[in-house]
Amino acid sequence: MLRLLPRFDRPRSAAQSGALQAIYDAAATGWQDGISKLGFINAYAQLMRNAPSPATPPKVLDAGTGTGAFAQAWIDAHGTPATLTLTDISRAMLQVAATRLPATQVLTIGVGDEVPHVPPQDIVLCAHVIEHLDDPHAALTWLRDRLRPDGTLIMAISKPHWCTALVRWRWGNAAYTPDKAHAMLKAAGFTAISAHPFTSGPPSRVSYGYIAQRA
């Protein structure tokens, strides 16, 4: 549930980023079972049911897909997309995601890599990524630029809670209140922003869901 995006923003130092990449590589095998036991699979499904369902199969990008749980939740709610592009800093995570999802394109984006060309998408997914970046505005701007006008962004973002402090000790992520996240999305050029609290288990304590459109 926590991954880095590519070099639109340099997250901390290359050494720190490389260390986090190695942690995710090592965690890839048991990641899906772990987040399922914590309730994130159900939480993501809940959020996706609140997202608008496109009239025709859309182009979908999952930025920082990890093992593909967020994208799978979207597919379960809305069907197989026309195209599905997955990005992640962890090659091991991407390998797991690619075996589980009907991915059209799978892009490993390592520390310092140039961002590959991704054409405008109808849907952009991003779960627990911007919390790891020193400049979340740059991250949100990058996500906005991957969307066509009126395209939909669906996110999960860490929120402040004592449980989040324990996660931060391990992963070093930030946390944003719903009001702060709303302001960040608006400043990055999103509109029709709605916040969706998760209703049970650890996700209800450490995360919030958001749906927005590119203005």
181-213 per-position pLDDT tens digit? 999 999 999 999 999 999 999 899 989 999 999
**Mean of pLDDT values over 157-173:** 65
pLDDT at residue 7 tops 90: no
- CATH number for the region 14-48+111-214 comes to 3.40.50.150
Closest CA to 19 of 124, 71, 89, 115: 89
**Mean of pLDDT values over 67-88:** 94
Domain positions in the chain: 14-48+111-214
The residue type at 98: A
Question: Would you mind telling me the total number of residues written for the chain in this entry?
Answer: 215
Alpha carbon distance 107, 90 (integer Å): 10
Enter the pTM of the model. 0.87
13-22 per-position pLDDT tens digit? 444 556 777 8
